[in-house]
Amino acid sequence: MKPVEGLIFDLDGVLLDTAQHHYTAWRRLADELGISFLPKDNEKLKGLSRVESLERILSMGGLMLNNDTKLQLMERKNAWYIELIADMTSEDVLPGVRAFIESSRKAGLHIALGSSSNNATTILQRCNLETLFDAIIDGRHVTHTKPDPEVFLKGAAQMNLSPSQVAVFEDAQAGIEAALAGGFHAVGVGLPSNLPGAAWVIPGFVGLTLEGLHQALALQASG
Ligand code: BG6
Ligand code: MG
């Protein structure tokens, strides 16, 4: 296969450890509602939109609520989440992330963000990451949430690349499914057991090089 020409990064759990803050805030809400919500339940919510996450939690508890109540619950969850991320700075960017993106940019690759979060731009700005991206697609720009590929297809379109020219980095099962559905090279970030279907799974970005990425994807394509 030809080397990829673009990279799309998910935000929560890939560039920053914000996935744990989403979990903490949802857990607080679930506790108040009397719904059991464990880390294994949260794994399935990763990558989904705010409203879809709430719907899943309510259905776990068998709760039917009206739209006004759901909106209030989402606002509360988001307020807690915003408190949790309030002190984030560029120091919180996960190890190796900035170096890998910077070296990829120097090598001429296009870089995009593909996140379900409506808080993405705030976080990127706060952590001094925004200028590293040629395109930023987030929860405000999409109609269909992951595992639909819309967010990544929009990112590829803004980079003027086709999906087969792009690798997507994702920590969520829904994100890997979205990348595969769109025809992208799906690279998992985390534990292989949580990310079936990924072409390659890395534990994080420390020591990752473009050469390493190309070799792993070529190996997978040939096997
Ligand atoms: C995704 C997270 O990136 O964004 C989900 O993986 C989260 O956990 C979703 O629910 C929406 O985020 P936000 O910040 O708009 O509530
Ligand atoms: Mg994520």
The domain spanning residue 213 has which CATH number?
Answer: 3.40.50.1000
From the CA of 146, the nearest ligand is 1
12 is catalytic: yes
Q: pTM of the prediction? A: 0.97
Ligand 1 centroid–CA 70 distance in Å is 16
138 is catalytic: no
Q: Which of 49, 75, 140, 148 to mutate to test the pocket of ligand 1 (most atoms within 8 A of CB)?
A: 49
Q: Closest residue (by CA) to atom 4 of ligand 1?
A: 117
Mean pLDDT, each 10-residue run in order, the chain (223 residues):
94 97 98 97 95 98 97 98 97 98 98 98 97 98 97 98 98 97 98 96 98 96 85
- The residue from 85, 103, 133 where one domain ends is 85
Q: Is 42 in the pocket of ligand 1 (CB under 6 A)?
A: no
The whole domain housing 33 covers 19-85
Q: Output 84-89 pairs: Cβ under 8 A, ≥24 positions apart.
A: 84/21, 84/24, 84/25, 85/18, 85/21, 85/119, 85/123, 85/126, 88/16, 88/18, 88/123, 88/126, 88/127, 89/126, 89/127, 89/128
**How many domains, in total, are found in the chain?**
2
Between the alpha carbon of residue 173 and those of residues 11, 47, 131, 191, the distances in Å are: 14, 8, 28, 11
Amino acid 165: pLDDT: 98
Q: Closest residue (by CA) to atom 8 of ligand 1?
A: 46
Amino acid 110: pLDDT: 98
Amino acid 98: pLDDT: 98
The Cα angle at residue 136 between residues 143 and 185, in degrees rounded to 5: 80
Amino acid 29: pLDDT: 98
Amino acid 95: pLDDT: 98
Amino acid 83: pLDDT: 97
- The residue from 85, 102, 132 where one domain ends is 85
